[in-house]
Amino acid sequence: MNTSLLGLTLNNKYNIIKLLGKGGQCHVYLAFDTKRQEEVVVKELIHKSKDGEIHDQNLTLFKKEYELLHRMDHKGLPKGYDYFQEKDRHFLVVEYVPGENLKKILENGETEFSEQQVIELAIQMAEVLVYLSHIKPHQVIIRDIKPANIMLTPEGMVNFIDFTISRESDPSKTGDTVRIGSIGYAPPEQYKGKSDIRSDIYALGATIYQLLTKHDPSLTPFQFEPVRHLNPSISKNMEGILKKALELDPSLRYQKPEDILHDLSSIKDGKDISFDYKTLVSSFKEEPEIVPPPARPLLFNVISQKGLIYLLLILSVLTAIIVIIFKMK
């Protein structure tokens, strides 16, 4: 099947202009909407797995993304415009947000974010989480907050652009139906299928941490060096906020977005924040109960560490036997 859409017109009104990017399950295009007379983003669901169950699961998430974005109304969220299908290909159309994502800004090395700038951006992000936590009938959890999924517009406004794995937090359900997330940004409980609004607060903390230090959390999942070790100019107030946001135990984290928004707004106004450091358990260097391990050398992808030890012992014994045999000759 020809996967290129460049130059085509979809649904009789979306003229595909260029490919913006390729995600895990989607191709994202810039298009011109001839009815709205404006540029829009067209996302196509790409089926990479031959597993029928995974196929259906991805399609459900894709449709849910449109449904959520279509009913949301916030300056920090793109509006969902349309969902359609052409043959066996599925598409959703959302508002085009100009600018650059925070990951690319960090990678180009030309921009150094000051603490004050990060506070301004973090406040905007927290305000989006407050909105999502109060949306009806159920609050919405993004579950994939990270710099790559946050656009910074030329006006300095942040906009969350990827709701692929977002879900509604329905109290009648016991847990997540899909246990997924981005390594380094998703907290431990998300991989157990127990995400809630505090999971997004953790991911927000990891994002703020990266903006301040340029350290990629995916390199050391669940382990954050004290922020002032990497950037001594960071205030103790911000260090306290990050410690609380990045607690591995969700019960010790900020419990709702309003709480972290309050503290961020306070330090923006130059006020000190009081933390009870006796009860504030640091997430630094602690090991979680579960999870996706960090990247290992290729050999470890084939056998476990314990298996490797046994293999080395066997090789050592065989080597000793060979040496003895040669000596006997």
| CATH (domain of 83) | 3.30.200.20
Residues 151, 185: one domain? yes
Helices 257-268 and 197-213 cross at an angle (nearest 10°) of: 30
Among residues 71, 95, 119, the one where a domain terminates is 95
Give this prediction's pTM: 0.80
Cβ count within 10 A of residue 133:
18
Residues 255, 192: one domain? yes
- Number of alpha helices (DSSP H) and beta strands (DSSP E) in the chain: 9, 11
Cβ count within 10 A of residue 328:
6
Per the structure, the complete domain to which residue 308 belongs is given by: 299-324
Residues 110, 220: one domain? yes
pLDDT at 96: 97
Mean pLDDT within 101-129: 95
Q: Reply yes or no on whether the pLDDT at 15 is more than 90.
A: yes
Residues 75, 109: one domain? no
d(CA 73, CA 84): 21
Residues 235, 219: one domain? yes
d(CA 30, CA 282): 43
Q: How confident is the prediction for the chain on average, in pLDDT?
A: 86
Residues 161, 237: one domain? yes
Q: Read off φ and ψ for residue 81, nearest 5 degrees.
A: -100, -40
Residues 262, 307: one domain? no
CA–CA distance from 63 to each of 44, 45, 69, 200 (Å)? 11, 10, 10, 21
Among residues 68, 95, 122, the one where a domain terminates is 95
Cβ count within 10 A of residue 251:
7
Among residues 61, 95, 129, the one where a domain terminates is 95
Residues 124, 257: one domain? yes
In a domain, 273, yes or no: no
Q: Read off φ and ψ for residue 328, nearest 5 degrees.
A: -65, -35
pLDDT tier for residue 283 given thresholds of 50, 70 and 90: very low
In a domain, 289, yes or no: no
Give the tens place of pLDDT for each residue, 118-153: 999 999 999 999 999 999 889 999 999 999 999 999
In a domain, 276, yes or no: no
Give the tens place of pLDDT for each residue, 175-223: 555 557 899 999 999 999 889 999 999 999 999 999 999 999 999 999 9
Residues 24, 45: one domain? yes
In a domain, 76, yes or no: yes
Residues 110, 255: one domain? yes
In a domain, 290, yes or no: no
pLDDT at 304: 43
Contact 41, 92 (CB under 8 A): no
In a domain, 280, yes or no: no
In a domain, 306, yes or no: yes
Residues 249, 125: one domain? yes
Total structural domains in the chain?
Answer: 3
In a domain, 47, yes or no: yes
